[in-house]
Amino acid sequence: DTEVTQTPKHLVMGMTNKKSLKCEQHMGHRAMYWYKQKAKKPPELMFVYSYEKLSINESVPSRFSPECPNSSLLNLHLHALQPEDSALYLCASSHPGQGEFNYGYTFGSGTRLTVV
Amino acid sequence: GENVEQHPSTLSVQEGDSAVIKCTYSDSASNYFPWYKQELGKRPQLIIDIRSNVGEKKDQRIAVTLNKTAKHFSLHITETQPEDSAVYFCAATKYNFNKFYFGSGTKLNVKP
């Protein structure tokens, strides 16, 4: 299995809703990431988990709450979002940087989120 | 932190011609440089990467070159085909660090 699977593919939510995005990989990668991508822009890092521990939080508002229940799963819990949070949310995984080597990401297909 | 600049923002070429996309980086400690291709509505996909101990790497029609002294790296696509049309992102990162710094992207249009 060489894929990162994200669900749902599309999500429309109101500003008072609570929803969760899910990401799963079975490649044995121990680093997992959440990215946000607006149209015609590069992916923007939100969170990094390394060995199931949060290692990077790019000053993301608390209405986004990540969770890494185990080495294969990554969730992003959403609450009280704003319309400007509408974007493509990408999950990625990789082997963590080890020694002198680093490795490219495998991205999931993303969840296209619309906040109304 | 690292700053990656990418040029051009858009590039149109005729099918069969070559395309070159250039990136510069600011942190001399960066040592890993991947390139991603993102087709419309799809995920970014890693197409080639290069590490700082190598000056050039090729994979069929694509190649990447790295000049550590000048702190720039380039993607070269030869014999372009319409299916090469996409947005290409360069990125840079360093030893033992999981954050990748992305360039702003280049929209490549290959005209049949």
Nearest to B43 by CA among A50, A2, A26: A2
Identify the segments of chain B with pLDDT beneath 50: none
Chain A residues with CB-CB distance to B107 below 8 A = 40
Q: CA of B9: which chain A residue's CA is closest? A: A40
pLDDT tens across A36-65, in order? 999 989 999 999 999 999 999 999 999 999
Q: How many CB atoms lie within 10 A of CB A107?
A: 25
**Shortest Cα distance, chain B CAs vs residue A49, angstroms:** 9
**Shortest Cα distance, chain A CAs vs residue B65, angstroms:** 17
User: pLDDT above 90 covers what percent of chain A?
Assistant: 79
Residues ≥6 apart with Cβ < 8 Å to A102: B31, B32, B51, B93, B94, B95, B96, B97
Q: CA of B89: which chain A residue's CA is closest? A: A42
Chain A residues with CB-CB distance to B92 below 8 A = none
- What pLDDT, on a 0 to 100 scale, did the predictor assign at position A1? 65
**Shortest Cα distance, chain B CAs vs residue A73, angstroms:** 18
Instruction: Give yes or no for a contact between B87 and B8, defined as CB atoms under 8 angstroms apart.
Output: no
